[in-house]
Structure 1
Amino acid sequence: MRKLLNSTLIALAFFLSVNLSAAHAQTVKWDSVYRPGKYVEQVAKFKADPKSKKDIVFLGNSITAGTDWAKLLDLPQAKNRGISGDITFGVLDRLQDVIDGKPAKIFILIGINDISRNIPDSVILRNYKSMISRIRKGSKKTQIYFNTLLPVNSAFEKFKNHYGKDEHILWLNDEIRKFTSKNITVIDLYPNFTDQDKHLKAELTKDGLHLIPSGYQVWADFLKKSGYLN
């Protein structure tokens, strides 16, 4: 009888541990209303900046914000609309200002901070599609360039929330590569920045996430060589 009771208790404990683990996995918290500290300030600055239908807009987070695109590409009409720490929901909130300017081109790179904040891949993808739909509707002549996400490199041990989630980057990049229509061009940045282990090349980054000038030069050279700026 005692052996039966012990076996029952062990089985019950196992059942509870499995179900509690499953419940935890299903309730990972994520936040759609998070905005970085300087978000409001940056948005106001962008709104005050004169707009032209010749503008080439680079839209994204700190990876986009980290260079002077006009200088890097020798294109005075290039506008930097990157905000450090931004997520896809933040881009959607400020997208109308970009659309209202009816720029010639929009280059989008966003999503790695969503991944770090546990926003589900399906939600990130939905937000990508919302961006495309809204640009198409509000600025029909604007050419959309959608970049695949860059890899990360955990060896730097600085942005731990961004590391160890390569499967999310790979899944989203596969979905981005499926974006096909006459006014959308997919720019597959990812292969240009990966080392033999599929990590961000150490010589192109300062912290395993952000690029250094030589990294931006790789990006610029790829854009020019591929004819995306013509």
Structure 2
Amino acid sequence: MIVKNRFIVIVLASLLWFGKADAQTKPYDSTYRPGKYKELVQKFNAEPITKKEYVFLGNSITAGTDWSKLLNLPQAKNRGISGDITYGVLERLQEVIDRKPAKVFVLIGINDISRNIPDSLILQNYKTIIERIRKGSKKTQIYFYTMLPVNASFEKFKNHYGKDEHILYLNDEIRKFKAKKVDVIDLYPHFLDGDKKLRAELTKDGLHLIPAGYEVWAKVLNEGGYLK
């Protein structure tokens, strides 16, 4: 039985990282949506469209700051939803496309990894996000971030820890988007400590950022000229 728009997919996938096979055998649910997903999507849809918007699209890491204040950017629109996955972004992407924004900044995937969604499907969803924006809003400039590292020493989000190979693999694939004329912003190294973990002084729980972390992020955007 196939239920429209609500289905659970359980697969066995085998991917290669660094020359080694790593089978993904755990069940995953691509239909998961956070508790406030519908409420926030309705709120986004109700917002009036303004000119030359900069849309910041993603999960709680994107949702965790006021981009307009942080960047002194009145046209910034926050489209982060805590707990969201790539499938959720695709489901609500039309609202972003319809706004015909000047720029879209995308950071998504860590919750997919925590929920055991195979890297191959996450990567395909990345590509679909890019294709749909390009098709529906041809003048929009697309920026894709590499994912941030995590820090297991905080012991707060155990489903997100111990899966660094997935972050590394997907970040390597994201960097290849440059060949597809997507602007890649490599956040990962800016947040990395000497032990290849998220810098402890920038996070409150090993996953989410504190204001000092967003200041590092803002510096990357400003010094990289991505906001011009």
TM-score, length-scaled by structure 1: 0.88
Q: Which runs of 5 or more residues in structure 2 are unaligned?
A: 1-13, 15-22
Question: RMSD of aligned C-alpha atoms?
Answer: 1.3
Percent same amino acid among aligned pairs? 76
5 Å-filtered alignment, 1:29-178, equals: 29-178=27-176
Q: Structure 1 unaligned segments of length 5 or more: list them.
A: 1-21
The size of the alignment, in residue pairs, is 207
Structure 2 CA distance, aligned partners of 1:98 and 1:193?
A: 28
Structure whose residues are more often helix by fraction: 1
Mapped to 1, the partners of 2:157 and 2:172 lie a distance apart of: 24
- 2:39 is aligned with what amino acid? E
1:149-198 Cα offsets, whole Å, 9 max, x none, are 00000000000000000000000000000002575200000000000011
TM-score w.r.t. the length of structure 2 is 0.89
Report the Cα distance in structure 2 between the residues aligned to 1:87 and 1:215, rounded to whole angstroms.
22
Mapped contact 1:142–1:183 kept (Cα < 8 A)? no
Q: Which moved more, 1:75-84 or 1:179-188?
A: 179-188
The offset of 1:26, in angstroms, is 5.7
**Distance of aligned partners of 1:136 and 1:156 in 2 relative to their CA distance in 1, 3 Å threshold:** same
Match of 1:14 in 2: none
C-alpha separation in 2, matches of 1:26 and 1:207 = 26
Larger CA Rg, structure 1 vs 2: 1
Q: Kindly indicate whether the alpha-carbon contact (under 8 Å) linking 2:24 and 2:118 is maintained by their aligned counterparts in 1.
A: no
Q: Is the 8 A contact 1:179 1:186 kept in 2?
A: yes
Post-superposition CA distance 1:184-214 (Å, at most 9, x none): 2000000000000110000000000000000
Runs of 4+ aligned residues of structure 1 deviating over 6 Å after TM superposition are none
Q: What is the Cα deviation at residue 28 of structure 1?
A: 1.2
Deviation, 1:52, is 2.4
Structure ranking higher in strand proportion:
2
CA distances 1:76-117 after superposition (whole Å, capped 9, x unpaired): 000000000000000000000100010000000000000000
